[in-house]
Every structure is written in C-alpha cells, then in structure tokens.
Amino acid sequence: MSIARLQKEMLTNLPFYEERVDLACAFRWTARLNMHEAVANHFSLAVNADGSQFLMNPNQVHFSRIKASDLLLIDANDPDTLSGPNAPDPTAWGLHGAIHRNVRHARCVMHVHSIHATVLASLADSTLPPIDQNSAIFFNRHVVDGHYGGLAFEEEGERCSQLLTDPKVRVMVMGNHGVLVIGDTVADTFNRMFYFERAAETYIKALWTGRPLRVLPDEIAEKAALEQEDYPGQAERHLSELKAILDEQEPVYRN
C-alpha cells in the first residue's frame, strides 16, 4: 500500500471526518474573507444528539492554517476540559460550551469580530433594519445583546446562551463585541454568517451617505425571510463550491 493511500485511510478514519472537513473549509474561507480577528475567534459543531460533544478549533491557531485533523473534540459537560494539555481557548469554552449545553437547536456556532457586524454592534441601536434583500433575511431573526459583560468566560457565556432560546433567532449581535451565528450544519451557519456580514456592510455604507433609508415594510421583509428559509440547497451548494476551490488551491485543509 502506498504511503499516500495509507495517509488518506488514516485521515478518513478520524471521528467525524466529513464534519471536520466542512469546518476546516469554513475556517479557511473566513480568513480569506478577512472576517477573522488574528487568532481570537472560534467555531464549533455538535456531533452527538444532545449537543454536549462538539468539534472546535484549537487554541489560538490562525483560521487560514486549520486542518480537519487539528479540530478538538470537546465534551461540554466535562469540568476538566480546561485543565488538559490540549485545552481550548477559555473564552471559546465559556461561550460555545454554554450554548451547546443550553441551546439544543444550535448544532453549529460561529463567532467572529467581522468588521461590519462589529461596527453594527458598536451602534447605540444595533438592530439590522430590512433595507435590502440580504438584510430582510434577518428580519425578526436576530437578537441584540446590549449588556456586554467582558470576555466570554463561563458566566458571560451562560448569560449569552439564554438569548438564543427562541429557535427562530439564529444571529446574536453581541453589543460592543461582534456577532455570533447558529445553525443546523456548517453549511447553514457559514452561509448565514456570510450574508449577515454582507447585510451589515450594506447598512453601514448606506448610513455613510447620510440620506434617508428605504426600509421595507414588515410584511415584505417577513415574506423575503421566509422565502430565503425555503430556498432549496443554497447553503449546501455555497459550501460545496468553497470546498471545490480549496481542493484545487490548498487541499491540505482536508488532512
């Protein structure tokens, strides 16, 4: 057996290999989009029924370098998680552990300090109004946390998790902090995070003009949001195309 074939078989024997590949792709593409912040942000993906076990990026590794085999497999109910030799970032543990314990429908969690979403989080009113098709996707589907309490260690993580109990709410604008997005899969969550940043960029640049905004009526914004939710396969196709690009340009992400 060739060394290359043996290595491939070893990699595909990793637990949750396909999930790891999806997550590694999301990390690397987030870096390409400049939506990461140095080595400070984190994504996670639940891999068991109750969400208590999840994959997460290793502590302070740049998104652009993360490979499938690098991802940590973490138990949200293990109090000794932070004392191990391969412990996650303490704020990642505090925030993501709390969400996976308390919010069953949050199968995937992505937290970034992307530029435009963070500008939105810095405004006195951090609500995203439905001024275009992208922002209408999030009408009545995002929540603003206006009570920033410092770095997301365990107490802050528990508090934030309580804001995501409504299954309709899939985005939390973390006031004075950044944005956190949840979803059913890596594809679903990454797609939502991408479009929220694009919508926030449109809104912030519209504000720059100083001219009145053309805000959609509530019923049209809700209609557009529902139509997007029912649009078949868009998120999956988005991630599939990104993996195809990485397969050509930097296939090491699958290792």
pLDDT score of 11? 57
Q: What is the pLDDT of residues 195-210, one digit of tens each?
A: 999 999 999 999 999 9
The mean pLDDT of the chain is: 92
At position 145, the amino acid (one-letter code) is D
pTM to 2 decimal places: 0.92
Q: What is the pLDDT of residues 223-245, one digit of tens each?
A: 999 999 988 899 999 999 999 99
Domain range summary for the chain, segments of one domain joined by +? 3-254
Q: What is the pLDDT of residues 110-141, one digit of tens each?
A: 999 999 999 999 999 999 999 999 999 999 99
Q: What is the pLDDT of residues 46-68, one digit of tens each?
A: 999 999 899 999 999 999 999 99
More confident residue, 79 or 212: 212
**Number of residues that make up the chain:** 255
**CATH superfamily to which 3-254 belongs:** Class II aldolase/adducin N-terminal domain (3.40.225.10)
End-to-end CA distance of the chain: 19
Q: What is the pLDDT of residues 12-45, one digit of tens each?
A: 689 999 999 999 999 999 999 999 999 999 999 9
Give φ, ψ of 111 to 5 degrees. Answer: -125, 125
* Contacts for 220-223: CB closer than 8 Å, 24+ residues apart: 220/130, 220/136, 221/130, 221/136, 221/139, 221/140, 222/139, 222/140
At position 239, the amino acid (one-letter code) is L
Is residue 81 pLDDT above 70, yes or no?
Answer: yes
Helix/strand/coil percentages in the chain, nearest 5? 50, 15, 40
